[in-house]
Amino acid sequence: MRFGAIRVFSKGPSLGTFCKTSASLRYSSQSYSTRFCFTTSTGVKMASTSAPAAAGGGEGVQQIDSYKLQHQQQKQQTGKRPFQNGQGGGGKGGRGGKFKKKGKKAKPPAEGGHDEVLRLDIEALMAKSRNEAAEGAEGEEAAAEEENLPEQGSEVLVEVVALSSTGDGLAKMKGSDRIYVVPFAVPGDMVTVKAYRHEETHTVADFISVVDPSPLRDDSRIQCKYFSKCSGCQFQMLDYAEQLRIKRETVVKAYKNFSQLTPELVPEILDTIGSPLQYNYRTKLTPHFDGPWNNPRRGPKKHLESCPPIGFTPKSARKVMDIEDCPIATPAVRKGLTAERERMKTEFSKYSNGATILLRENTIRVPAGGEAPSDIPSDAVVVGTPGYTDYKTHITDNNATSTEYVDDFIFTNPAGSFFQNNNSILSPFTQYIRDHILPPANKEGIKYLIDAYSGSGLFTITQSALFPGGSIGIDIAEGSIAYARKNAKLNNLDEGQCKFIAADAPELFKSVEGYNPDETVVVLDPPRKGCDASFLSQLLRFGPRRVVYVSCNVHTQARDVGVLVRGEVEGVVDDTEETDGTERKKTRYEIESLRGFDFFPQTAHVEGVAVLNRVEDR
């Protein structure tokens, strides 16, 4: 059950004490009422709020600002409501008692998104604290006491006691159960933080410094001077083996929190497979810069008067932070960043708006003994092997074609489109899929591969040799399919071996009516939001022998895998019949294996691979 978040902003009197006295929520009517106690420096004791929940059963947000506090204070003193300008009374010339500041509705958190994952981790830690307190004689009594919260902007000392799957530390002050969400900190750290915002269940804080480091922390491992300010990396202070352990735990918690499966239906999560490169691996960066402030009502647009900061948004601010170098990027991309920063020193005046700069690695491969093309830039990064030499350059044009190799497979894409951003792990990753895409028993019985959300054909092409009946890829983006077809030809695969269709994924199964489900494997690699209910319903209706689900969001993956294991899609009723008129038997799956892959070392992100088999009671 989800409770609305109560956000308190202090612009005038400080909000010194926060005490939840009661809360109730009726989910069926999508409304809630809350009653909270505040003690301020001017003696306001109580603020009672009531608001509808956000559309779709999400969480309502009530904002209490300095105006409302002044509103209550003056009413206590004069018995009258103030005007909008703060004057007392209720007569003509003002809104008087009718004035009411309209609050904004909160957007419901994305399912499996950052906010929901953080909320569940906080709730788990709160439940653990309550259980530990209940073991003592005064557990429940202590939980009801008022707690003085630090003023916004004040610094406090906290100890990190857990780590969220978002990469944030979850900390507590000594003698308090209040949870502080702290970036760039790990369990065991004693850190100074700045209280930024008080939520109903926790306080969001900015990292200031480490007072007493955790045994897990070794700051000599940090290779970026912007770490603890730039929001890109979270784990540079950790040993890489510890990072992989944390990412395995992220997969464990994802299936515990989102799959809705009982523990016996979820096998032990296998160890996370690491990246061959922990730095210098990222083949794409998109730094950006802000433009000048412009008001179209006050004349023509202004252009930049000096070179702006170029980089990324820091963790605790909205303005772009100037980043000279990024050590997780490949050497070619890092050279590109330097070159673009130099270009902007002379071309900044051309810009009246902010912009994003594309930096995509491009590879030119020359066989051993071959002659390199004459147009290779002089700053190209040269990587030699016994069989070939790669010349690595960077592309800044979104519409230009980039080339990438995975073992001996070649892939071309529009430079601005999606392709996996860590080339170093793609060889072991595609080999793992190759080793597990067929069932351990009766491999010969599988003839067909269906690659849903195929993009430019990574799995359709690299796995095609295993399927005598052919492999078929589908993607909603016609541009990606055009490149997928081009990539199939570049890899000497004809349409009998590998073909592609431009269509929405739910339309896929209309195109494979000739495929026998008992002889078919389906690979899924959806976007972060996962698969929609319509697609999962059609997948269950088709009932392939085996499913390999690859995901960049293990939380939505766990949700979808739970659907496949239960064989039921919420809100979708399958009333179709078999051709002989009998009722269709329910298709469901069992999980063979679950494992994470570390595509982004030094960050909290983990890729997931789930292998499922159809239960043979169909």
Between CA 406 and CA 458 the distance in angstroms is 9
Amino acid identity of residue 13, one-letter, is P
| Rg of the chain (C-alpha set) | 28
In 335-491 the beta strands, taken as DSSP E runs, fall at: 355-356, 359-367, 381-384, 388-395, 401-406, 409-414, 448-452, 470-475
CA distance between the termini of the chain: 35
3-class DSSP assignment, residue 132:
helix
| Contact (Cβ atoms closer than 8 angstroms) between residue 243 and residue 275 | no
| Contact (Cβ atoms closer than 8 angstroms) between residue 392 and residue 330 | yes
- By C-alpha distance, which of 47, 46, 33, 37 is closest to 4? 33
CA dist 354 to 79, 258, 348, Å? 51, 38, 10
Degrees to nearest 5, angle at CA 436 with 435 and 440: 100
Q: What tokens appear for 310 in the block?
A: 């170029």
Q: What tokens appear for 156 in the block?
A: 């406090």
> Which is it for strands 190-198 and 202-212: parallel, antiparallel or unpaired?
antiparallel
Between CA 50 and CA 68 the distance in angstroms is 14
The residues with which 609 forms a beta bridge, in sequence order, are 550, 595
Between CA 351 and CA 26 the distance in angstroms is 52
| Contact (Cβ atoms closer than 8 angstroms) between residue 567 and residue 588 | yes
Degrees to nearest 5, angle at CA 189 with 185 and 192: 75
3-class DSSP assignment, residue 6:
strand
φ/ψ of 384, rounded to 5, equals -105, 145
Could you tell me which residues are annotated as the binding site?
Answer: 420, 453, 475, 525
Could you tell me which residues are annotated as the binding site for S-adenosyl-L-methionine?
Answer: 420, 453, 475, 525
> Which is it for strands 546-551 and 607-614: parallel, antiparallel or unpaired?
antiparallel
The residues with which 435 forms a beta bridge, in sequence order, are none
Between CA 488 and CA 462 the distance in angstroms is 10
Q: Helix 554-566 crosses helix 240-258 at what angle (to 10 degrees)? A: 40
| Contact (Cβ atoms closer than 8 angstroms) between residue 203 and residue 225 | no
CA dist 455 to 329, 346, 527, Å? 23, 38, 11
3-class DSSP assignment, residue 323:
coil
Tell me the HSE value of 12 on the side-chain side, using a 13 A CA sphere.
12
**Could you tell me where the DSSP H helices lie in 197-239?**
none
| Contact (Cβ atoms closer than 8 angstroms) between residue 474 and residue 524 | no
Among the options 224, 233, 531, 552, which is catalytic? 552
| Contact (Cβ atoms closer than 8 angstroms) between residue 163 and residue 215 | no
Read off the DSSP letter of residue 474.
E
Quick check: is 531 catalytic? no
- Using CB atoms within 10 A of its CB, is residue 371 exposed (0-12), middle (13-18) or buried (19+)? exposed
Between CA 420 and CA 426 the distance in angstroms is 8
Q: Catalytic residues, which ones?
A: 552
